[in-house]
């Protein structure tokens, strides 16, 4: 059975099989966690991302981790918040489901997710966290899912929201 937990850390420092990048559709780097991952992984990540020809919102693609402690990076594009009536919840849930499906096909045993869409894309943290926890829990028991799933939080505030959601949805 998989374990699910939340921690406060810099996702680029985690020595897991895989970390998830909250990417933009170009996959060519940006701000926030995306910029941090590209910077830490080095220029080889950008070169490999160029070959992927972008990624649609809700979808996921995989690359090597290069200079990161993680062997792989799964890039997923979260939705921009438009008030909640433009299919944002379904697209955000798809980010988690598609990332975990890709992890399963690559036999990834440990994976960390950032708080997808909650930065410059403006998704309200509490709502995004509930979707993240629910989406991951729905697929945890399926074959080949990672054994360790981590929500990596940048701040103490984010960590408290994730820990509350994990307890509430337990």
- Catalytic positions are 34
Q: Radius of gyration over alpha carbons of the chain, in Å?
A: 14
Of 122, 33, 18, nearest to 64 by C-alpha is 18
Distances (CA, A) of 9 to 61, 140, 168: 23, 23, 22
Query: Strands 72-77 and 60-64, how do they pair?
Result: antiparallel
Distances (CA, A) of 108 to 54, 77, 94, 117, 143: 22, 20, 18, 23, 12
For CA atoms 78, 3, 7, 158, the dihedral sign is: positive
Phi, psi of 85 (to 5 degrees): -115, 20
- Strands (DSSP E) contained in 24-131 are 60-64, 72-77, 110-113
């Amino acid at each position: 059975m998989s374990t699910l937990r939340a921690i406060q850390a810099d996702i680029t420092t985690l020595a897991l099989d895989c970390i998830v990048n909250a990417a933009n559709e170009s996959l060519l780097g940006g701000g926030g966690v995306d910029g941090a991952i590209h910077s830490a992984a080095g220029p080889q990540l950008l070169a490999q991302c160029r070959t992927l020809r972008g990624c649609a919102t809700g979808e996921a693609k995989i690359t090597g981790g290069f200079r990161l402690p993680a062997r792989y990076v799964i890039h997923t594009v979260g939705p921009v918040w438009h008030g909640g009536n433009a299919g944002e919840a379904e697209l955000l849930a798809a980010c988690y489901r598609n990332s975990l499906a890709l992890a399963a096909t690559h036999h990834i045993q440990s994976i960390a997710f950032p708080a997808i869409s909650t930065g410059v894309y403006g998704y309200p943290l509490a709502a995004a966290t509930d979707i993240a926890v629910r989406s991951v829990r729905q697929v945890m028991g399926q074959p080949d899912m990672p054994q360790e799933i981590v929500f990596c939080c940048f701040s103490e505030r984010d960590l408290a929201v994730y820990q509350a959601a994990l307890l509430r949805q337990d």
